[in-house]
Amino acid sequence: MASLHVTLEQWRALQAVVDHDGFARAAEALHKSQSSVSYTVAKLQEQLGVSLLRVEGRKAVLTDEGKALLRRARLLLKQAEEVEQFAEGLEQGWESEINLVVDAAFPTDILMNALGRYAPQSHGCRVQLKEVVLSGAEDALLQGNADIAICANVPPVFLGEPLLNINFIAVSHIDHALHKLGRPLTTSDLEDELQLVINDSGEHHQQDVGWLGSDHRWSVSSMETALTTLMTGLGFCWLPEHVVAKHIEAGQIKPLDLEAGGQYQAMLYLVQGKQAGQGPGTKLLTELLHEEATRL
What pLDDT, on the 0 to 100 scale, is given for residue 171?
96
pLDDT 10s digits, 121-139 = 988 888 999 999 888 899 9
Distance CA 245, CA 255 (A): 10
Q: At what angle do helices 34-48 and 23-30 cross, to 10 degrees?
A: 110
Residues near 283 by Cβ (< 8 Å), separated by ≥ 6? none
* pTM given for the model: 0.69
Answer yes or no: is pLDDT of 58 > 90. Answer: no
Contact in structure between 256 and 196 (CB atoms under 8 Å)? no
Answer yes or no: is pLDDT of 243 > 60. Answer: yes
Residues near 59 by Cβ (< 8 Å), separated by ≥ 6? 21, 22
| Higher-confidence position of 53 and 167 | 167
- Which has the closest alpha carbon to 162: 150, 172, 180? 150
| pLDDT average, residue stretch 95-115 | 94
Q: Which DSSP string do the residues of 71-127 spell out, in sequence order? A: HHHHHHHHHHHHHHHHHHHHHTT--SEEEEEEETTS-HHHHHHHHHHHGGGSTT-EE
Give the alpha-carbon dihedral of 117, 147, 291, 283, to 10 degrees: -80
Buried b (16+ CB within 10 A) or exposed e, 226-243: bbebbeeebbbbbbbebb
| pLDDT average, residue stretch 35-42 | 89
Give the pLDDT band (50/70/90) at residue 82.
low
Give the pLDDT band (50/70/90) at residue 209.
low
- Which has the closest alpha carbon to 227: 258, 199, 266, 196? 196
Give the pLDDT band (50/70/90) at residue 293.
very high
Residues near 20 by Cβ (< 8 Å), separated by ≥ 6? 26, 28, 29
Distance CA 36, CA 27 (A): 8
β-pair partners for 270? 150, 161
Answer yes or no: is pLDDT of 53 > 70. Answer: yes
pLDDT 10s digits, 169-205 = 999 999 999 999 989 999 888 888 899 988 888 765 5
What pLDDT, on the 0 to 100 scale, is given for residue 148?
95
What pLDDT, on the 0 to 100 scale, is given for residue 134?
81
| Higher-confidence position of 204 and 74 | 74
Give the pLDDT band (50/70/90) at residue 276.
low
| pLDDT average, residue stretch 4-16 | 86
What pLDDT, on the 0 to 100 scale, is given for residue 296?
66
CA distances from 116 to 18, 108, 287 (A): 31, 12, 13
What pLDDT, on the 0 to 100 scale, is given for residue 185?
93
Answer yes or no: is pLDDT of 18 > 60. Answer: yes
Give the pLDDT band (50/70/90) at residue 260.
confident
What pLDDT, on the 0 to 100 scale, is given for residue 213?
60
Contact in structure between 227 and 168 (CB atoms under 8 Å)? no
Give the pLDDT band (50/70/90) at residue 279.
confident
What pLDDT, on the 0 to 100 scale, is given for residue 266?
92
- Which has the closest alpha carbon to 115: 291, 294, 296? 291
In order of their start, the domains of the chain are 8-91 (1.10.10.10), 97-163+268-294 (3.40.190.10), 164-265 (3.40.190.290)
Answer yes or no: is pLDDT of 96 > 90. Answer: no
Distance CA 113, CA 84 (A): 26
Contact in structure between 102 and 129 (CB atoms under 8 Å)? yes
State whether residue 162 is helix, strand or coil: strand
CA 148 remoteness from chain centre: 13
CA distances from 283 to 111, 118, 145, 202, 203 (A): 16, 11, 17, 26, 29
Answer yes or no: is pLDDT of 246 > 70. Answer: yes
